[in-house]
Amino acid sequence: MEKVLFFLTLLLFLTSVGIMVYVRKCLLRYTDQLSNCLQAILDGNEHIDFQENQDTLVGKLMVKMRQLYEVLMKHSQENFYQKKQLESMISDISHQVKTPIASIRMYHNLLERKELEPSKREEFLYAVERQVDKLEFFMDSMIRMSRLESGIVKVSPRENSVYDLIAQAVCDAALKAEKKDISIKVSCEDYFGYFDKKWTVEALFNILDNGVKYTNPGGHIEISTEKTDFYVRIKIKDNGRGIRESRIPEIFKRFYREPESADVEGIGIGLYLAREIIMKQRGFLEVRSEEGKGTEVRVNLPRDKQIYSS
Torsion of CA 33, 39, 40, 41, to 10 degrees: 110
Tens-place pLDDT, residues 93-149: 676 677 778 888 887 888 888 777 888 888 878 888 877 877 777 777 777 766 666
Same fold, 86-150 and 158-309: no
Tell me what the mean pLDDT of segment 188-193 comes to.
Answer: 87
Q: Check: CATH 3.30.565.10 for 158-309?
A: yes
Nearest alpha-carbon partner for 183 in 224, 225, 223, 218? 218
Cα separation, 97 vs 130, whole angstroms:
14
**pLDDT at residue 33 in the model:** 66
Cα separation, 236 vs 130, whole angstroms:
29
Alpha-helix runs per DSSP H in 44-117 = 57-111
Instruction: Specify the fold of 86-150.
Output: Helix Hairpins (1.10.287)
Q: What are the sequence ranges of the domains in the chain?
A: 2-76, 86-150, 158-309
pLDDT above 90 for 1: no
pLDDT above 60 for 269: yes
CA angle 134, 251, 81 (to 5 degrees): 95
How many other C-beta atoms lie within 10 A of the C-beta of residue 89? 16
Label residue 53 by pLDDT band (50, 70, 90): low
Label residue 232 by pLDDT band (50, 70, 90): very high
Average pLDDT, the chain: 78
Label residue 168 by pLDDT band (50, 70, 90): very high
Q: What backbone phi and psi angles, to 5 degrees, belong to 148?
A: -70, -45
CA angle 258, 273, 267 (to 5 degrees): 40
